[in-house]
Amino acid sequence: MSTLLQWGLAGAILLSTPLLIRLGVRHSRGRGGAAILLLGLAFGSLFDPARAEAMETIDKRRDQRSEAGNDGA
């Protein structure tokens, strides 16, 4: 994922924080922790270097398989 897209998503998450907290409080009877947990999970998956490396490995393998399939046809 490009750096610009990551920062854009991070900004969108930060800007939507008040709305998420209001919705969380309204629907969970005063428990805003769920909204904060949601934000933590979003940032964790967005900026996780291990996840990015795994996705690169998967993309490389997918490309290798498609090249091998095209060579044999």
Q: Where are the domains of the chain?
A: 3-72
- What is the rounded CA–CA span in Å between residue 71 and residue 12? 43
Q: Check: CB of residue 42 under 8 Å from CB of residue 13.
A: yes
What DSSP line would sit under 23-58, residue for residue? HHHHHTTS-THHHHHHHHHHHHHHS-HHHHHHHHHH
Kindly report whether the global pTM for this prediction surpasses the value 0.95: no
The pLDDT tens digits for 6-46 are: 888 888 888 888 887 777 666 655 556 777 777 777 777 77
